[in-house]
Structure 1
Amino acid sequence: MTTYAALIYAADVDWTAPEHAEEMAEYGEFGRGAAAVIRGGAALYPTSTATTVRVSGGKGGDVVTGDGPYAETKEVLTGFYLLECSDLDEAVATAARIPAAWHGVVEVRPVIPM
């Protein structure tokens, strides 16, 4: 079995807000239906809460932080799932059931064990 990261790119919204309750319920439904292969995951707060970190000059250099996302785009990384699947075909079929795939995009990548 291979572990895949299903990276969710969707609108930059606060998923904890009441107006997103219906879609969050769809994620709950997905989670229950795919529980056999889900090994972890989380939704992310909006990019306005992000802090970027760089090290100026490389290792040992000055740590420089910034507010907001790394890049401004229409769709942003809003969450992820870790899926343990037999192959890429199963991972893709599972990712197609994630609600973001219906109006955004889900990127599937194999995970390198650390």
Structure 2
Amino acid sequence: MISKEEVKHIAKLARLGLTEKEIAKYQKELSSILDYIEKLKEVDVSGVGPTSHSVLVENVMRGDESQKPKAKTIYPPTALPPRQAPRQKLLELAPETKDGYLKVKSIL
């Protein structure tokens, strides 16, 4: 069985303040979880290959390709679309552009 000190240590790592009653409760629950994990270690999986997903799903995302901007909507010279700045002005302010889009560093 997991000790009270171990429960207190886990609670401290999680920044949880526990009462003595809660410590006793989690001591039993965590011990139960660890006992179950020990049972799982006994299962023979020698004929089972490694898996990462239970469903065979492949990457369904589109390729990262530049697309030409859609046709521009024409507004009267004195009017701007609501909550939009002029596209060309934004592109001029950008440090780098490509094919009519802002070019940024990869994030993935």
TM-score by length of 2: 0.19
Q: Specify which structure has the higher proportion of strand.
A: 1
Q: Specify which structure has the higher proportion of helix.
A: 2
Q: Which has the higher contact order (CA 8 A, sep 6+)?
A: 1
